[in-house]
């Protein structure tokens, strides 16, 4: 039992490290080659956990080899359009100028119902509103609505809003997050002043966010019985 636990721990830590090397994509955003590598990693890692007679080093070497292939092929893909197309494929336009491209649909072996389902996931329920729809290499669909169906922007209305930057959570669950404070280009002294001005003790703050102008949002923790 102890041997199995140790082997599983080693493999778990190895896979976490390798997945970090591969990047932070979500499963739904993986390219075909990345998805294949992910499946193979899970299969190879399961073998030594199920059979203690299999040397764990063999599996670790295989795992590192697969990830090395993926990183190497990704680097080559950045330099070669042909190789990138071979490994990842091409985006395919399935709606062009508001009309469904049935030739592209047949190439993808996709039905109109499949297309409608994907559009609904993009909050598009009326195909007549679509100008272009592109089926991406990761299996997702990108949609460009017709001009009359797009949401108005500040630019359309002739308004130029001030850019306040992205809010950073500098306090979370009663603790100052020093890494986030550094990302926000503020310092601990400034954050402490904002905490004092909120009139809420640090330990009672559920979350505090700050943008580049120093404007903060603060929410107090609920009182616990």
Give the per-residue pLDDT at 225. 44
pLDDT (mean) for 129-137: 92
pLDDT tens profile 135-164: 988 788 999 999 888 888 888 888 887 777
100 pLDDT tier (thresholds 50, 70, 90): very high
Higher pLDDT, 76 or 192: 192
Q: Report CA dihedral (8, 9, 13, 16) to the nearest 10 degrees.
A: 50
Question: pTM above the 0.75 mark?
Answer: no
Closest CA to 7 of 37, 15, 65, 18: 15
pLDDT (mean) for 28-37: 69
Give the per-residue pLDDT at 180. 87
SS3 state at 144: strand
Ramachandran angles phi, psi of 84, nearest 5°: -65, -40
pLDDT (mean) for 36-43: 81
Is the pLDDT confidence value at 26 over 70?
A: no
CA distances 210 to 141, 170, 187, 190, 222, Å, are 34, 7, 11, 10, 21
pLDDT (mean) for 57-64: 86
SS3 state at 113: helix
pLDDT tens profile 3-25: 767 777 887 788 777 777 766 55
Give the per-residue pLDDT at 207. 92
Mean confidence (pLDDT) of the chain: 83
pLDDT tens profile 166-192: 889 999 999 998 888 888 888 888 889
Higher pLDDT, 9 or 200: 200
Give the per-residue pLDDT at 30. 65
Give the per-residue pLDDT at 131. 94
Residues 6+ apart with CB under 8 A from 130: 95, 98, 119, 124, 143, 144, 145, 146
Domains of the chain, start order: 2-86 (no CATH), 92-149 (3.30.240.20), 168-220 (3.30.240.20)
Q: How many C-beta neighbours within 10 Å does residue 220 have?
A: 13
pLDDT (mean) for 20-46: 71
């Amino acid at each position: 039992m102890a041997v199995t636990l140790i082997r599983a721990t080693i493999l778990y830590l190895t896979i976490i490290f390798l997945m970090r090397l591969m990047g932070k994509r979500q499963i739904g955003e993986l390219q075909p080659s990345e998805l294949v590598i992910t499946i193979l990693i899970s299969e190879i890692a399961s073998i030594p956990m199920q059979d203690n007679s299999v040397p764990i080093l063999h599996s670790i070497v295989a795992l590192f080899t697969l990830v090395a292939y993926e990183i190497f092929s990704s680097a080559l893909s950045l330099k070669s359009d042909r190789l990138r197309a071979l490994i990842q494929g091409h985006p395919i336009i399935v709606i062009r100028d508001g009309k469904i491209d049935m030739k592209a649909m047949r190439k993808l072996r996709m039905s109109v119902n499949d297309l409608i389902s994907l559009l609904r996931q993009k909050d598009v329920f009326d195909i007549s509103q679509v100008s272009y729809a592109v089926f991406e290499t990761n299996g997702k669909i990108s949609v460009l609505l017709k001009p009359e169906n797009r949401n108005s922007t500040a630019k359309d209305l002739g308004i130029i809003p001030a850019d306040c930057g992205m809010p950073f959570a500098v306090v979370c669950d009663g603790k100052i997050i020093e890494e986030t404070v550094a990302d926000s280009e503020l310092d601990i002294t400034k954050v402490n002043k904002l905490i004092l001005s909120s009139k809420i003790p640090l330990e009672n703050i559920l979350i505090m966010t700050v943008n580049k102008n120093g404007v903060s949002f603060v929410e107090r923790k609920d009182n616990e019985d």
